[in-house]
Amino acid sequence: MIKKGILLLILVGFFAVISSLIINFTGNEALNPMAKHYAENGPSEVGAANLVTAVVVTYRGLDTLGEITILFIAAAIIGFFLKAHNADADRPSRLRKTSEILETASTLLVPTIFMLGAYIFINGHLTPGGGFQGGAVMASGVMMIILARPTSKFNHKLLSVLESVSGVAFVILGVLGVVLASGFLNNSFLPLGELGSILSAGAIPIIYVSIGIKVGSELTGILDSLKEHQNEI
């Protein structure tokens, strides 16, 4: 009880420290200079109608590369920790049989979900969305396959090939920006096109497709290593 009282005191102190931030908060009236630069020059320099995409892929593209690396390392560590014991993989299954509704619906819905994911990351430079969201939608489609057919095995070689090819494509596109345009991940080595059409914004659609495939295969790898019926002790 005394322990919880001390913890509560620490939290109250923390809130007192940040309370001056809260009391003096007035809200923003206008954009700060950096955001103003992005808003004014982004459409002509990058050519993407969605300015968040312009910031994520081009202006702060190096952050995205680091983020994908972190996700890859997390997926690799999860696979390493959970696959260490793989003693009796062919133990008889105690899983309940999946219902017929789920199986039929999954054959109907999974292609549609994959198409929605592809739509989200191909249109990333025009509408809200992009590689991360599309990849997550694709991984949820894979999750539906796992739910409907728990005993099915994934083609791990295909997954790792997809993941490494898309990662290498991302880095190569970035280096092409150095060689042909003005900097790493600069997208203007392809024609920028007209603002708001699907074939615009230079290399951004290609980069986002590779990010989407890479994120989708990494999240699928995480789901696959946490899947039941595999790597029991």
Instruction: Tell me the C-alpha distance between 185 and 209, whole Å.
Output: 14
CA separation, residue 103 to residues 99, 143, 228 (Å) = 7, 13, 18
Instruction: Tell me the C-alpha distance between 207 and 47, whole Å.
Output: 14
Smallest separation (angstroms) from other proteins to the CB of 209: 17
Query: Would you count residue 32 as binding other proteins (CB under 8 A)?
Result: yes
Angle, helices 100-122 vs 204-225, to 10°: value is 150
Query: Would you count residue 215 as binding other proteins (CB under 8 A)?
Result: yes
Contacts of 157 (CB under 8 A, 6+ apart): none
Which residue among 2, 16, 17, 29 contacts other proteins (CB under 8 A)?
A: 29
Query: Would you count residue 38 as binding other proteins (CB under 8 A)?
Result: yes
Query: Would you count residue 5 as binding other proteins (CB under 8 A)?
Result: no
Which residue among 118, 119, 140, 181 contacts other proteins (CB under 8 A)?
A: 140
Smallest separation (angstroms) from other proteins to the CB of 179: 26
Contacts of 199 (CB under 8 A, 6+ apart): 193, 205
Smallest separation (angstroms) from other proteins to the CB of 161: 22
Query: Would you count residue 25 as binding other proteins (CB under 8 A)?
Result: yes
DSSP assignment of 109-138 equals: HHHHHHHHHHHHHHTTTTSS--HHHHHHHH
Smallest separation (angstroms) from other proteins to the CB of 202: 16
Angle, helices 204-225 vs 131-148, to 10°: value is 30
Q: How far is CA 149 from the centre of its chain?
A: 25
Query: Would you count residue 65 as binding other proteins (CB under 8 A)?
Result: no
CA separation, residue 203 to residues 48, 65, 74, 180, 182 (Å) = 10, 15, 28, 12, 14
Which residue among 71, 173, 185, 207 contacts other proteins (CB under 8 A)?
A: 71
| 212 in Cβ contact with 163 (< 8 Å) | no
Which residue among 1, 2, 4, 20 contacts other proteins (CB under 8 A)?
A: 4
Q: Which range touches other proteins (CB under 8 A), out of 7-15, 100-108, 167-175, 182-190? A: 7-15
Which residue among 113, 122, 137, 190 contacts other proteins (CB under 8 A)?
A: 137
Residue type, 65: L
Using CB under 8 A as the criterion, which residues of the chain lie in contact with other proteins when the complex forms? 4, 7, 11, 14-15, 18, 22, 25-32, 34-36, 38-40, 43-44, 49-56, 60, 63-64, 67, 70-71, 74-75, 77-78, 81-82, 85, 120, 127-130, 132-133, 136-137, 139-140, 143, 195-196, 215, 219, 222-223, 225-228, 232-233
